[in-house]
């Protein structure tokens, strides 16, 4: 039986989404294949071994359990496994694979993946470099451009430049886009549409930049693409496979945090009602960008599809949500891989890839 450590929570702005994802997937883990250990990370960065239920994790009440125990992963391979402080003494619990059900900064940007590599324990999801490149949308844009994949026009704004001269920054952006509006403003390194705004004029643009900079010191400003929002799930290491295409039908003007997680009027259509040619192009480009960025295990690739069936790359998410309304598991369900089997395959892919410098066993 495989000893599986599931990490959830984290210090990012997506802490709540991580807990919701964990609460959703926990009942589907194959307990005949995996011996599960749960560790939650609070917003303050404290790690706790917990026996919380899926419901307690999803609603956040797990943190109040009196039987939670301090725990950590040591970068020292001499210690090995998960370290737990029980009754004033450290004890080690064996870990064969780590599943970080975590989103956002310090969770899918290469930071925690670096810790996993130091421990020598295989983990679900892309490695350090791929995670960092995919999390920083400005880097992702550069890779996509080199790969020849069509994407929205954009410009990059740095916090210091905006705070030093907000008026000049707005003018520079307007000049870059020829005075065209609307424009989308998004933090370069954040997910779940946190800090994303749509600006229709210079006043709204300045407000949107200030809002995004509170989330990240680098901000992307993009042209607004008129098209359908579609997504493709990718699974695999050396020979990645693409799922069917799904479409997002957002209840709001665009697919912001409220539309994703709070507005029940938002819905998805899987598979998307698009032409066979468009579907083939989307699935092909999803694998292309996945491989160009060096991804492994899993990722979800988001696109726009215009009325002329032109495919335009939007962004990639290396640790997509696993909530009951999340696209990644639903896309694979529609492709023929049930939720339980998907979780097992993700762990198998992690162990197949291993770490760059695996621990000696």
* 113 occurs within a structural domain: yes
The predicted structure's pLDDT at residue 267: 83
- Burial label for 328, CB within 10 Å (0-12, 13-18, 19+), is buried
Percent of the chain with pLDDT strictly greater than 70: 93
pLDDT, average across residues 321-336: 94
The predicted structure's pLDDT at residue 251: 58
Same domain, 261 and 146: yes
The predicted structure's pLDDT at residue 354: 86
CA distance 47 to 28: 24
Contact 242, 233 (CB under 8 A): yes
pLDDT, average across residues 34-41: 98
Same domain, 103 and 44: yes
* 348 occurs within a structural domain: no
Same domain, 118 and 171: no
* 19 occurs within a structural domain: yes
CATH code at 196? 3.30.1490.20
**Which pLDDT band holds residue 216 (cuts at 50, 70, 90)?**
confident
**Selection from 344, 252, 234, 340 nearest residue 289 by Cα:** 234
Instruction: Give the model confidence (pLDDT) of 350-361 as tens digits.
Output: 999 987 767 665
* 245 occurs within a structural domain: yes
**Which pLDDT band holds residue 259 (cuts at 50, 70, 90)?**
very low
Contact 338, 27 (CB under 8 A): no
The predicted structure's pLDDT at residue 257: 47
Instruction: Give the model confidence (pLDDT) of 121-173 as tens digits.
Output: 999 999 999 999 999 999 999 999 998 999 999 999 999 999 999 999 999 99
Same domain, 268 and 139: yes
Same domain, 313 and 247: yes
CATH code at 254? 3.30.470.20
CATH code at 64? 3.40.50.20
Instruction: Give the model confidence (pLDDT) of 274-318 as tens digits.
Output: 999 999 999 999 999 999 999 999 999 999 999 999 999 999 999
- What's the number of CA atoms in the CB half-sphere (13 Å) around residue 191? 28
> Which residues in the chain belong to E strands, given as ranges?
2-9, 34-41, 47-49, 69-73, 82-86, 89-93, 97-101, 154-158, 183-187, 197-199, 218-223, 228-236, 241-249, 267-269, 297-305, 311-317
The tokens of 12 are what?
Answer: 């990012």
* 331 occurs within a structural domain: no
Same domain, 191 and 49: no
**Which pLDDT band holds residue 348 (cuts at 50, 70, 90)?**
very high
Mean pLDDT estimate for the chain: 92
The predicted structure's pLDDT at residue 102: 94
The C-alpha R_g of the chain, in whole angstroms, comes to 21
Cα 161 vs. chain centroid, distance in angstroms?
28
**Selection from 231, 137, 126, 130 nearest residue 190 by Cα:** 137
* 92 occurs within a structural domain: yes
Q: Kindly tell me if the per-residue pLDDT of 261 is higher than 50.
A: no
Q: Residue 138 is part of which domain span? A: 134-150+226-318
**Which pLDDT band holds residue 263 (cuts at 50, 70, 90)?**
very low
Q: How many domains does the chain have?
A: 3
The predicted structure's pLDDT at residue 361: 55
Q: Nearest 5 degrees, angle CA 147-CA 172-CA 163?
A: 105
Same domain, 33 and 160: no
């Amino acid at each position: 039986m495989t000893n599986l450590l599931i990490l959830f929570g984290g210090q990012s702005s997506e802490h709540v989404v991580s807990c919701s994802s964990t609460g959703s997937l926990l009942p589907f883990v194959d307990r005949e294949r995996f011996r599960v250990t749960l560790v939650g990370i609070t917003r303050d960065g404290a790690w706790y071994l917990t026996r919380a239920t899926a419901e307690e994790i999803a609603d956040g009440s797990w943190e109040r359990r009196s039987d939670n125990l301090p725990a950590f992963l040591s970068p020292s391979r001499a210690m090995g496994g998960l370290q737990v402080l029980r009754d004033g003494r450290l004890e080690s619990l064996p870990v064969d694979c780590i599943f970080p059900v975590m989103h956002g900064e310090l969770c899918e940007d290469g930071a925690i993946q670096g810790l996993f590599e130091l421990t020598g324990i295989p983990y679900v999801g892309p490695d350090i470099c791929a995670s960092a490149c995919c999390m920083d949308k400005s880097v992702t844009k550069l890779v996509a451009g080199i790969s020849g994949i069509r994407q929205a026009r954009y410009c990059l704004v740095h916090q210091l430049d905006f705070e030093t001269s907000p008026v000049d920054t707005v003018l520079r952006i307007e000049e870059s886009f020829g005075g065209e509006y609307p424009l989308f403003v998004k933090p370069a390194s954040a997910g779940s549409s946190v800090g994303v705004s749509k600006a229709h004029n210079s006043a709204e643009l300045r407000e949107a930049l200030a809002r995004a900079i509170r989330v990240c010191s680098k901000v992307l400003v993009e042209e607004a693409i008129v098209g359908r929002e579609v997504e493709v799930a990718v699974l695999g290491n050396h020979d990645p496979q693409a799922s069917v295409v799904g479409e997002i039908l957002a209840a709001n003007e665009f697919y912001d945090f409220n539309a994703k997680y709070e507005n029940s009027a938002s819905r998805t259509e899987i598979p998307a009602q698009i032409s066979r040619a468009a579907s083939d192009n989307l699935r092909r480009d999803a694998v292309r960008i996945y491989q160009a960025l060096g991804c492994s295990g899993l990722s979800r690739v988001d696109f726009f599809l215009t009325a002329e069936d032109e495919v335009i790359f939007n962004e990639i998410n290396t640790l997509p949500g696993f909530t009951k309304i999340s696209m990644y598991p639903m896309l694979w369900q529609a492709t023929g891989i049930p939720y339980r089997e998907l979780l097992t395959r993700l762990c198998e892919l992690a162990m197949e890839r291993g770490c760059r410098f695996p621990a000696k066993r």
